[in-house]
Amino acid sequence: MLKAVIVDGNAVSRSMLGTVLADGSYEVVGATHTGALGYALALKHRPHVICIAREQVEDGSEVVEQLRANLPKTLVFLVSGTLDAQAVQSAAARGVHGFIVKPFKAETVLRTIRNTVLAFVKKQQAARPAGEP
């Protein structure tokens, strides 16, 4: 079972996304309202996936960069009600792997995460030298 951490200042959004992930067979190992606490939870639980609200990424902190540096195998998903091209490009440049749009549609959220996980695994396998497991 893949582990997930949710970071969103809105308690209702945290709860809804947690339900979607749990129903999709993810183990939600932590949920919090700030990027700093989310980072601490991520270091503690080493999740496969972290879903972090856009405002936590754009608050001047370097939470995405810290996650990428210290947990390179954790997939980072930006959660937002609005995503324009500039926000997507900026987030991708910082190391965000995927995007989840509010309001949540369970099928779309789970498909987005699953497809990103599969692409990440394929990329990792392709990067391994021949003969290595």
Query: 97: Cβ–Cβ under 8 A, 6 or more apart, which residues?
Result: 75, 76, 77, 116, 120
The pLDDT tens digits of the residues spanning 15-50 come to 999 999 999 999 999 999 999 999 999 999 999 999
Domain count for the chain, please give it: 1
What's the pLDDT at 22?
A: 97
Q: Is residue 19 part of a domain?
A: yes
What's the pLDDT at 130?
A: 62
Element (H, E) at 5: strand 3-7
Q: Is residue 20 part of a domain?
A: yes
The pLDDT tens digits of the residues spanning 52-110 come to 999 988 877 899 999 999 999 999 999 999 878 888 898 889 999 999 999 999 999 99
The token pair at 55 is 């405002």
Domain that holds residue 10: 3-127
Average pLDDT over residues 8-20: 96
b/e per residue, 118-133, with b = 16+ CB within 10 A?
A: eeeeeeeeeeeeeeee
Where would I find the H helices in the chain? 11-23, 35-45, 54-57, 63-70, 85-94, 106-127
Q: Is residue 133 part of a domain?
A: no
Q: Is residue 101 part of a domain?
A: yes
Q: Is residue 21 part of a domain?
A: yes
Contact 14, 8 (CB under 8 A): yes
Q: Three-state DSSP class for 98?
A: strand
* CATH code (residue 57): 3.40.50.2300
Q: Is residue 80 part of a domain?
A: yes
Q: Is residue 117 part of a domain?
A: yes
Q: Is residue 104 part of a domain?
A: yes
